[in-house]
Amino acid sequence: MSTLSTQPPAPPRRTANRGISDLALRNLFIIPTVAFLIVFNIFPLIYSLGYSFTDFAANQNRPWQFVGIQNYRELLADEQIWTNFVITAKYVIVSVAGQMLVGFGLAMLLNRAFAFKGLVTTLLMLPMMMSAAVVGLFWQLLYSPSWGPINYIVGLGDFGLLSDADTALYAVAITDIWMWSPFVMLLSLAGLSAVPKHLYEAAAIDRASGWYTFTRITLPLVSPLLLIALIFRTMEAFKTFDLAYVLSVQPTTELISIKLYRLAFQQWDTGRSCALAYIVLIMVLAITNIYVKYLNKVKER
Amino acid sequence: MAMVRPARHAAFNRAAISAVLVLTVVFLSPIYWIVSTSFKARAVATSVPPTVIFKPEVTPYIKLFTKRVQLTTDVNKETYDAAPWWEKLVYDGGERILKVGDSPQLSPYPSRFENSLIIAITSTVLAVGLGTFTAYGFSRFKMKGEDDMLFFILSTRMLPPVVVAIPMFLMYRAVGLTDTHIGLIIMYVAFNLSFSVWLMKGFMDEIPKEYEEAALVDGYTRLQAFFKIVLPEAATGIAATAVFCFITAWNEYAFALMLTSRNAQTAPPFIPAQVGSGLIDWTTIAAGSVLFLLPVALFTFLLRNHLLRGVTFGAIRK
Amino acid sequence: MLRRHFLFTTAGAALALSGAFTAPVSAADQELNIFWAEWDPANYLQELVNDFTKESGIKVTVSTTPWSDFQTKTFAELNAKGDSYDLIVGDSQWLGVGSEQGHWVDLTDFFTKHDLKNKFLPATISGYAEYPAGSNKFWAIPLEGDVNGWAYRKDWFEDPKEMTAFKAKYGYDLGVPKDQKQLRDIAEFFNRPDQKRYGVALYTDNSYDAMAMGVEQTIFTSGGSLGDYASYKVDGVVNSKESVAGLQAYHDLFKFTPPGWNKAFFAENNQAITEGLAAMSMNFFAFFPALANPKTNPHAAATGFFANPPGVGGAKFAALGGQGVSVVSYSKKQDLAMKFLEWFVKDETQKKWANLGGYTCSKAVLTSPEFLKATPYNQAFYDSMSIVRDFWATPEYAELLDQLNKRIYPFVISDKGTAQEVLDSVVKDWTATFNKYNRYKK
């Protein structure tokens, strides 16, 4: 890895011209991306922000009116929305915790040399390579108490894990865990393989216990990566739509993004849906901000 | 992890590997179900109780590539006997293939697949390329408000797609980007760019500054140093980023559905739509999913070694 | 106008990026695009229009999207005044939005010119073409007639042992149910979870109109109503004694459905028959071809069909499905589209349409003996088609549907609340919605 440090290949002749200045280069490298993101992410966002203060309905030709913060006020006072948030919170906690546990567990087990390790790792990643809509559709088949295999294997009889109002959310979370644990596994594995071997050797010489080695060496060194996995998975779980929408139509699995979709595209209440979208965005931003602050702290250690 | 006594260690290793293999089987069983469904007859796919052992057939794959309709009664014997083998298989399943004149009508699957390839590959190249430049910019040059800038970039990934869907749709309509390849490519670049910047930034931070400084002393320009020294060093990170971006772009569903209709529609909205008259055709959906999984699985497998080393996000200090 | 201005600023910025790539696609001038949902009738239509192409040289493509996204995609397109599609085969409930928002081209003159009022079955005219009801204004040509009917297991019904047991238990002969009460009894009779056999398969999917169709049908047959579509009166109508009894009946029938039956629509209900799960299954006739073919339904020979039986009070109704084809007002090829419609309403075309498997609404074809005998379910289809009744077709139907779904689903599936409470809440929601749209101001 470090062969290049002293001997760059074929150095060109020294000239007075140092190329473009560092500042210009920095701008050249950064500005296109930022501009691109502003045009394609921030413009629509401002647009939605504008709508969120109106009673605009995208399916009507009637003129829209400015309604101030009425959309926000009514949404925040609506019990139904809070139910949706509670469902979403439950879902995010169960599903992300499951993914972290399964993913990190798999990585711990995988973190040793054996034949076909690359193949096994790739195979384990297959679930996350599929489209959420297809995964949702097939898990619906798998969960069916009549023609799905899960009930026959697990021995649930006629009990529909996905169709029972109380367990449906967990059924959706299980599917999400199946699909995204490999992501956590991959990140953890990268972290684990980067832990310097000499630290373990030193621990072995000191006759440190397995638990001690794990909590004092492995975990601290892997934790930044685990946090990044946590950030991305939390964000994505909060936004889960395709998977849950294809799997279940129960009121007990109506995640906030499903509510949002219904408001925007079934009731065509564009103004209010934009307001709700903003509430969701602010929540995700807040959560992520906390994570990122914590991540920076962990990295500084 | 305990390396106390070698003998115990070896036993522990063996147990861990067996556990991995068992878990792999558990993890793969849903995928096995999809693959096996793609070789089942339509009725076998939803039998009560489920069928595990069956005679495999390729009918679903033939159905995937053709336009068909349900038959209410069997076709007459002459028509059946005159049909080629693949058409017979479809007849056996109780359907007939639509014809224009004498040639069978193809389903949109091949063209959707092609669109998916064009759009996913182009958008991945762009997202990773832009992301690499930007990450280098952030990694090497100090800047006021750098952390805020990075957080802003990350935050663009937090938008629930529904927030931007309506404005995006109106905007695309106004500039004529709906149902174009370039329209979806832009969408996916916008979607993947934040991830790409974050991943690559971590990786750039890992590459020691001394490498470039040495090159600069030797007369390279900054730009030359970037291309000749930094990029090769970052290859692993680039590969890992590319895999993630490709997976996301390859499978995106909601925007593909909203923003495209004919010319540029990708495969994900098409695959789950295989319903015959009144029965979801699980077998054809499965066939479509299996073929659609192949390119991305292959891509990941080829880059597997980079993937492990690449995804460190600069989180691990040397 | 602020909105428009904003749009163009944004547009300008993006245009610079994209200008090079959006070269106009020519050679598409002689091409029509029809949009429909992904199902067999759309394939039949594609096959049918190939003839039109042969005659006229105009290429016609039928584009499809899954049912679950059909509504969203259509309205996203229409609201943006898009011209991707020249004709759309739209749901009956869309007439209000389509006409009031100016999405559909007014076809009233076309109707008069071709005397279509006498050509198509009256129920299909009011269901798929006319809006508002009784106004003599037409926005679509009835294309695919459809209605809710029932499939049942003849072999179970005709099993002598079952017949004796049934007679002993209920005091009358087991057979095709003559009213809703008998339907319930039979469902109860055949519901035997220990044998993996269940009474009845119902619609329960609430993501669009599936469950509402099932529920409205029992509400109508018990003499209830979803409101007065002309005066928007709902209080005392939607929550009337009869309507409550209707909803209660659906709720009671749900007890006899197979396990996990809470996101069921046409596919699941057909599977209930093909997999031998249920004695009776509710479904739209468009989905019955799969049940008539032994290759797709092992019990095809033993599967019978009947029209929705009347309520105990004698009210005869069936929920309307099906679609009419409308010309999109933003299409730049309206003249071609009209040419196509002229061809489509011809008698030969309608006949060919029926032969291919489409459900024509043409009176002449529907009453012909060859049509009635062509399949085991065509007679039941014709019977049902004369007793159809539909959901609201006002522009705000989507909100009404969503509000109804939200209220009835927990009651039917999870036994939350009572039928009276549910319908009282629906009345409250709907009244609020109608007020929002100023429906009561005269």
| DSSP H helical ranges for A111-218 | 117-125, 132-143, 149-154, 168-193, 197-205, 210-213
| Closest Cβ–Cβ partner in B247, B289, B301 for A128 | B247
Determine the pLDDT at residue C1.
Answer: 32
ipTM: 0.87
Cβ–Cβ of B48/C292 closer than 8 Å? no
The gap from C-alpha A42 to its chain's centroid, in whole angstroms, comes to 21
> Number of Cβ pairs closer than 8 Å across B and C?
151
Cβ–Cβ of A163/C277 closer than 8 Å? no
Judging contacts by C-beta atoms under 8 Å, the chain B residues touching residue C48 are none
Instruction: Show which subunits contact C, needing at least 3 CB pairs below 8 angstroms.
Output: A, B
DSSP, collapsed to helix, strand or coil, labels residue C302 as: helix
Q: Can you give the pTM of this predicted structure?
A: 0.87
Cβ–Cβ of A8/B229 closer than 8 Å? yes
Judging contacts by C-beta atoms under 8 Å, the chain B residues touching residue A224 are 313, 315-316
Q: How far is A180 from chain C (nearest CA, A)?
A: 25
Cβ–Cβ of B160/A288 closer than 8 Å? no
Q: Is the pLDDT of residue C70 over 90?
A: no
Non-local CB neighbours of A193 within 8 Å, separated by 6+ positions: A111, B308, B309
Judging contacts by C-beta atoms under 8 Å, the chain A residues touching residue B147 are 296
Q: What is the DSSP string of C227-276?
A: --TTT---TTTTTSHHHHHHHHHHHHHHTTSPTT-SS--HHHHHHHHHTT
Tokens at residue C151, please?
């499939």
**Does A63 contact chain B (CB < 8 Å)?**
no
Q: How far is A154 from chain C (nearest CA, A)?
A: 16
Q: Is the pLDDT of residue C14 over 90?
A: no
pLDDT one digit per residue (tens) for chain B, 318 residues: 444 455 667 888 889 999 999 999 999 999 999 999 999 988 888 888 888 889 999 999 999 999 888 888 888 899 999 999 999 999 998 888 988 778 898 888 999 999 999 999 999 999 999 999 999 999 888 878 888 888 888 877 777 776 677 788 778 878 888 889 999 999 999 889 988 998 888 888 878 888 888 888 888 888 888 898 889 888 888 998 999 999 999 999 888 887 887 789 899 988 887 766 678 889 999 999 999 999 999 999 998 888 766 655 554 443
Q: Which residue of C has its CA nearest to A56?
A: C3
Asked if B70 and B277 touch (Cβ cutoff 8 Å), the reply is yes
**Does C277 contact chain B (CB < 8 Å)?**
yes
Per-residue pLDDT band at C235 (split at 50, 70, 90): very high
Instruction: Show which subunits contact A, needing at least 3 CB pairs below 8 angstroms.
Output: B, C
Judging contacts by C-beta atoms under 8 Å, the chain C residues touching residue A60 are 101, 395
**Does C193 contact chain B (CB < 8 Å)?**
no
The gap from C-alpha C112 to its chain's centroid, in whole angstroms, comes to 26
Judging contacts by C-beta atoms under 8 Å, the chain C residues touching residue A43 are 10, 13
Q: Which residue of A has its CA nearest to C412?
A: A250
What 3 state SS string does chain B have?
CCCCCHHHHHHHHHHHHHHHHHHHHHHHHHHHHHHHHCCCCHHHHCCCCCCCCCCCCCHHHHHHCECEEECCCCCCHHHHHHCCHHHHHHHHCCEEECEECCEECECCHHHHHHHHHHHHHHHHHHHHHHHHHHHHHHHHCCCCCHHHHHHHHHHCCCCCHHHHHHHHHHHHHHHCCCCCHHHHHHHHHHHHHHHHHHHHHHHHHHCCHHHHHHHHHCCCCHHHHHHHHHHHHHHHHHHHHHHHHHHHHHHCCHHHHHHCCCCCCCCCCCHHHCECCCCECHHHHHHHHHHHHHHHHHHHHHCHHHHHHHCCCCCCCC
Between β-strands C318-319 and C388-389, what pairing exists: parallel, antiparallel or unpaired? Answer: parallel
The gap from C-alpha A148 to its chain's centroid, in whole angstroms, comes to 28
Q: How far is C290 from chain B (nearest CA, A)?
A: 6
Interface test with A, best of C5, C74, C79, C409 (most A CBs within 10 A): C79
Asked if C182 and C309 touch (Cβ cutoff 8 Å), the reply is yes
Mean pLDDT confidence for A22-28: 85
Q: How far is B210 from chain A (nearest CA, A)?
A: 7
Share the mean pLDDT of chain C.
Answer: 89
